[in-house]
Structure 1
Amino acid sequence: MGMEREIKLALPVSQVNAATRWFVARTGNEGRPIELANIYFDTPALALASSKSALRLRHTPDGWLQTFKTVGNAKDGLHSRHEWEMPVAGEKLEIDALLRECDEPIASEALRQAAPELIELFRTNFTRTLWHIELDGSEVEAAIDQGNVIAEVNGEIRRAPISEVELELKSGDEAALNLLANELGKHVAGLAPDNISKAQRGYQLRTS
């Protein structure tokens, strides 16, 4: 089991270029853009959401990944949550493999019970531009995400925009995330802590 720790910041679209320029200046590289397509699953009764967890398939340039997360805690844009992630052969969940890895009994049981009824609920498609930053001995993966949440509800296609910065701790002290977020905020106007995950945005879109 891994513990994901990241700061998520809502990024005004008008400030995307400013944030990009700052990361390029900070790291000395242009950033690596990758296309990510994500499919989120739950039961029709939203059993996983009720158990405060989320399940997705992600298509990356290197292939497919499946990820199971707990909602965890979010405060002032800092998200901390359990995460289990692994490659899969294609566009298909491999639930048994996740259950073998999931060592949180409540989350594991929720997934086991939901498995027979899982359906696709919504998608998130976005471009992620990545930078690697070292700060005070810690390593942070910085990303600008730009795209959409997409859900089909009763034949209607609904969309909500994604525009955010994510600062994920890869190693070292969690304090590095706040230091980097504060540094970025001094140069990019309009950034705001965001406690809502992309999965939560998808659920909100379905019920809006």
Structure 2
Amino acid sequence: MGIEREIKLALPSGQVDAALRLIGTRAGAPGRALRLENIYFDTPALTLARAKSALRLRRTPDGWLQTFKTVGVAQNGLHARHEWEMPVAGEALEIETLLHECDESGVATALSDAATNLIALFRTDFTRTLWTLEVDGAQVEAAVDQGEITAEVNGEARSAPICEIELELKRGDDAALHTLAAELAKALPGLAPDDISKAQRGYKLREG
């Protein structure tokens, strides 16, 4: 298990090109673009959401990953949450492996209770452009995400755009995240902290 610490920033769509140039200039190299396709699962009764957790199956260029996260704490765009992530053989969850790794009793119980009734609830599919930056002696992974959240509810197709910057701390102190966020906000009008995760937005989309 790890503790994921990141700042999420809502990016106005008109500022995407400027953000890509700005971060690329700071990194001294173009970003690496990845296509990420994600399916989120829960029970019809939303067992995992009630336990403040989320379960995701992700297709990456290198294969499939399953991820189980707690909602954690979010304030001024800074998210801190437990995360368990591991590769899987294909487009299928391996719940027993997750349960073996999950060492938080409350959310592990919720996952165990949900296991036999899981259904696909919504998708988040996006292109992620990545850089690794050095900020005040810390290492930060900066990502610009562009895509959409989609869900089908009672035969109705629903969607919402994804356009955001994520700054994830890989090594060092949280202060580096705030320093970089402030630097980007100064140069990108309309950039704003976002306390709502993609998973939470997916649930809200289903709720209408």
The two structures have a TM-score, normalised by structure 2, of 0.99
CA distance, structure 2, for counterparts of residue 40 and residue 108 of structure 1: 17
CA distance, structure 2, for counterparts of residue 165 and residue 122 of structure 1: 21
**Residues 33-61 of structure 1: CA distance to partner in whole angstroms, max 9, x if unpaired?**
00000000000000100000000000000
**Residues 152-179 of structure 1: CA distance to partner in whole angstroms, max 9, x if unpaired?**
0011110000000000001110110000
Map 1:49-128 → 2, pairs under 5 A: 49-128=49-128
Q: CA offset at residue 147 of structure 1? A: 0.2
Question: Where does structure 1 differ by over 6 angstroms across 4 or more consecutive aligned residues?
Answer: none
Q: Equivalent residue of 2:44, what SS?
A: coil
Which letter maps to 1:181? A
**Residues 2-28 of structure 1: CA distance to partner in whole angstroms, max 9, x if unpaired?**
000000000000000111110111011
**Residues 82-102 of structure 1: CA distance to partner in whole angstroms, max 9, x if unpaired?**
000000000000000000100
Q: Equivalent residue of 1:44, what SS?
A: coil
Q: Equivalent residue of 1:40, what SS?
A: strand
CA distance, structure 2, for counterparts of residue 87 and residue 194 of structure 1: 28
Q: CA offset at residue 191 of structure 1? A: 0.3
Q: CA offset at residue 136 of structure 1? A: 1.5
Q: CA offset at residue 186 of structure 1? A: 1.0
Which letter maps to 1:96? E
The equivalent of 2:155 in structure 1 is 155
Work out whether 1:46 is the aligned partner of 2:46: yes
CA distance, structure 2, for counterparts of residue 185 and residue 124 of structure 1: 25
Q: Which runs of 5+ in 2 are unaligned?
A: none
CA distance, structure 2, for counterparts of residue 5 and residue 39 of structure 1: 22
CA distance, structure 2, for counterparts of residue 178 and residue 43 of structure 1: 36
Instruction: Using the aligned pairs only, state the percent identity.
Output: 69
The equivalent of 2:183 in structure 1 is 183
Q: Equivalent residue of 1:90, what SS?
A: coil
Which letter maps to 2:172? G
Which letter maps to 2:94? E
Q: Equivalent residue of 1:9, what SS?
A: strand
Work out whether 1:143 is the aligned partner of 2:148: no
Q: CA offset at residue 146 of structure 1? A: 0.2
**Residues 128-155 of structure 1: CA distance to partner in whole angstroms, max 9, x if unpaired?**
0001001111100000000000000011
Map 1:6-25 → 2, pairs under 5 A: 6-25=6-25
CA distance, structure 1, for counterparts of residue 11 and residue 137 of structure 2: 27
CA distance, structure 2, for counterparts of residue 169 and residue 36 of structure 1: 20
Count of paired positions: 208
